[in-house]
Amino acid sequence: MLVGSVTGVGEWGFSALIEADGHRVLLDTGAHPDNVLQNARDLKIDLSDVKEVILTHNHSDHVGGLMTLRKEMMKSNPSALSVVHVARGIFYSRPTPQGEDNKMIALKKEYEATGGRIIEHEAAAEIFPGAWLTGPVPRKYPERNWSVSGKVQTPAGLVEDTIPEDQSLVLDTPEGLVVVTGCGHAGIVNILTFAREEFPNEPVEAVIGGLHLFPATDEQLNWTADKMKDFKVANLMGAHCTGIEAVYRIRERLGLPRASAVVGSVGSSFVLGEGIHPGPLAK
């Protein structure tokens, strides 16, 4: 028996709205064309004044809603979602026997036809004061946080697709760094290591988003959690591909209370100074 109602439609995908110092940025756009749009409406979130979008990588579960959102928001504001930040490699060909497997190649043409502009980052860049886009992340540790088995056509030739364009957003706040990932294909430890080079000695107040740890072994989870502990991660909202068991294992390993390490769901949020609000689906 169902009692009451639940807001939001979950899916295998990710999207997050970031609000900081008067800036609003959408990171990723989910998988199905209409889900992020409908979830925003259900949550009474107006995206028409959001100008910039960050796409973390080429996979369809992160870029699927872009065109629906752009076309719908344009009706009230032509500049809505009119700038997309991507990292070098997102438009590399992913050839398969069945044809091109990188939907971003066709999506680029469709998006630009609406007047949208794409900014491709080859390195880390500040997109507004205190908001740092990693661009492609150096892979210091062999985390191998991806499950695809295809190839990618790079300037060096046809090689294993390690999702080289995977990027994250790092917010430098008075409480510490807030790191927002899409899938964390570069590896969350590599991402945090790269962020520390830019912001030495800063603690990590929160890690939010997908960490692609659902298929990880116990050994991998323990190693990841122990490394995260070195960065003094205080809050974890493990969404999308992180995995429920992975969140619980990391929470235990980091010694975090239940309120500070949760599985992300539709409507979940993190507010600086307040912590994690699990959202209606978690209640």
Per domain, the residue ranges of the chain are 16-278
pLDDT higher than threshold 50 for residue 39: yes
Nearby residues of 197 by Cβ (< 8 Å), 6 or more positions away: none
pLDDT higher than threshold 50 for residue 5: no
| CATH fold for the domain made of 16-278 | Metallo-beta-lactamase; Chain A (3.60.15)
Give the percent of the chain with pLDDT over 90. Answer: 93
User: Residue 250 corresponds to which amino acid?
Assistant: I
Q: From 205, 212, 209, select the one nearest 185 (Cα to Cα).
A: 212
pLDDT higher than threshold 60 for residue 60: yes
Count CB-CB contacts under 10 A for residue 123: 10
Binned at pLDDT 50, 70 and 90, residue 163 comes out as: very high
- The position carrying tokens 């992913």 is 94
- Cα separation, 106 vs 100, in Å, equals 10
By three-state DSSP, how is residue 126 classified?
A: strand
One DSSP character per residue, 192-245 reads: HHHHHHHSTT--EEEEEEE---TT--HHHHHHHHHHHHHTT---EEEEGGG-HH
User: 6, 42 in Cβ contact below 8 A?
Assistant: no
> What are φ and ψ of residue 67, in 5° steps?
-70, -40
pLDDT higher than threshold 60 for residue 213: yes
pLDDT higher than threshold 60 for residue 283: no
Tell me the whole-structure pTM to 2 decimals: 0.96
Q: From 69, 72, 84, 79, select the one nearest 117 (Cα to Cα).
A: 84
For 110-158, how does the pLDDT look when each residue is reduced to its tens digit (9 = 90+)?
999 999 999 999 999 999 999 999 999 999 999 999 988 999 999 999 9
